[in-house]
Protein backbone atom coordinates (compact mmCIF):
# COMPACT_ATOMS: atom_id res chain seq x y z
CA UNK A 1 0.00 0.00 0.00
CA UNK A 2 1.42 3.36 -1.00
CA UNK A 3 1.75 6.38 1.27
CA UNK A 4 -1.12 8.86 1.05
CA UNK A 5 -0.89 12.65 0.99
CA UNK A 6 -3.63 14.83 2.45
CA UNK A 7 -3.52 17.58 -0.17
CA UNK A 8 -5.32 20.04 2.11
CA UNK A 9 -2.54 19.71 4.71
CA UNK A 10 0.46 19.58 2.36
CA UNK A 11 2.58 22.74 2.73
CA UNK A 12 4.64 22.07 -0.39
CA UNK A 13 7.94 22.06 1.53
CA UNK A 14 9.35 19.13 -0.49
CA UNK A 15 10.82 17.39 2.60
CA UNK A 16 9.23 14.13 1.52
CA UNK A 17 10.69 14.33 -1.98
CA UNK A 18 14.24 14.24 -0.63
CA UNK A 19 13.41 11.58 1.94
CA UNK A 20 12.01 9.04 -0.53
CA UNK A 21 14.70 6.44 -1.33
CA UNK A 22 13.02 5.40 -4.59
CA UNK A 23 11.96 8.84 -5.90
CA UNK A 24 8.28 7.94 -5.73
CA UNK A 25 7.20 11.44 -4.68
CA UNK A 26 7.00 14.46 -6.95
CA UNK A 27 5.64 17.95 -6.48
CA UNK A 28 2.70 18.77 -8.75
CA UNK A 29 1.28 22.28 -8.56
CA UNK A 30 2.87 22.75 -5.12
CA UNK A 31 1.47 19.53 -3.64
CA UNK A 32 3.25 16.22 -3.05
CA UNK A 33 2.02 13.33 -5.17
CA UNK A 34 3.00 9.71 -4.47
CA UNK A 35 3.40 7.28 -7.35
CA UNK A 36 1.55 4.22 -6.09
CA UNK A 37 3.41 1.96 -8.51
CA UNK A 38 6.83 3.17 -7.32
CA UNK A 39 6.21 3.55 -3.56
CA UNK A 40 7.77 0.76 -1.47
CA UNK A 41 5.81 1.72 1.68
CA UNK A 42 8.96 2.32 3.73
CA UNK A 43 7.53 5.26 5.68
CA UNK A 44 10.56 7.54 5.23
CA UNK A 45 8.32 10.36 3.99
CA UNK A 46 5.90 10.08 6.90
CA UNK A 47 8.51 11.00 9.48
CA UNK A 48 9.85 13.96 7.52
CA UNK A 49 6.54 15.74 6.89
CA UNK A 50 6.40 18.73 9.28
CA UNK A 51 2.62 19.13 8.90
CA UNK A 52 1.74 15.40 9.14
CA UNK A 53 0.15 15.40 5.70
CA UNK A 54 1.45 11.93 4.82
CA UNK A 55 0.14 8.63 6.19
CA UNK A 56 0.78 4.98 5.40
Q: Which domains are present in the chain?
A: 4-55 (3.30.70.20)
| Whole-number Å distance between alpha carbons of 7 and 14 | 13
What's the whole-model pTM score?
A: 0.91
| Whole-number Å distance between alpha carbons of 5 and 47 | 13
The answer to whether the CB of 56 falls within 8 A of the CB of 46 is yes
pLDDT tens track for 7-43: 999 999 999 999 999 999 999 999 999 999 999 999 9
Amino acid sequence: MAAKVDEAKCAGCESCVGACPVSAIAMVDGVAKVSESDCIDCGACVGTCPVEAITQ
